[in-house]
Amino acid sequence: MLLVTPHKHLLAKRRNVQPRDLKGYPLVNAPEGFTRPEVAQTLDKLGIFGVQPRHVEAVTTAVIRHYVAMGFGIGLVLGRPSRSSRPSLHECNMSRYFGNAQICLIWRKGALQSAHATAFAETVRTLLNR
């Protein structure tokens, strides 16, 4: 779980960000957009969904990042920290508070795979065989 903020945001400048620190900022995520209900429940208990103004409620990672870049608030997305992200955004790993997500790749036997899917499957196999 990554916290995504604008690059010059106050949370981006902090060395350690905890879930309670998110309370002062509008979250662009929709409460029903979290795949793990316990994450939404934790954020709800902290009152993070009640921070106003909330002009948007997004579900997908790309849309969340887009609205954060536009200045609508902060977002939480699944992923790994990367340097290839938008330079205008800052990412902070929040997995120690919200846990890790399991991502499964499933395809029909005999179906053609894209080059990206093949490379991903090979990477996963390599990691699992270590």
**Structure confidence at residue 63 (pLDDT):** 94
**What pLDDT shows up at residue 109?**
83
Which residues neighbour 49 within 8 Å (Cβ) at sequence distance 6 or greater? 27, 31, 43
Mean pLDDT by 10 residues, the chain (130 residues): 94 94 95 90 93 91 94 90 72 89 74 82 75
Contacts of 6 (CB under 8 A, 6+ apart): 12, 68, 69, 71, 88, 89, 90
According to the model, what pLDDT value does residue 78 have? Answer: 86
Question: Rounded distance, CA 33 to CA 77, Å?
Answer: 10
Residue 13 is predicted with a pLDDT of 93
Query: Which pLDDT belongs to residue 115?
Result: 86
For 53, list phi and psi in degrees, rounded to 5. -85, 145
The amino acid occupying position 106 is I
**Can you tell me the distance from the alpha carbon of 95 to that of 17, in angstroms, rounded to the nearest whole number?**
11
pLDDT of residue 58: 95
Domain coordinates of the chain in residue numbers?
2-98
Return the CATH fold of 2-98.
D-Maltodextrin-Binding Protein; domain 2 (3.40.190)
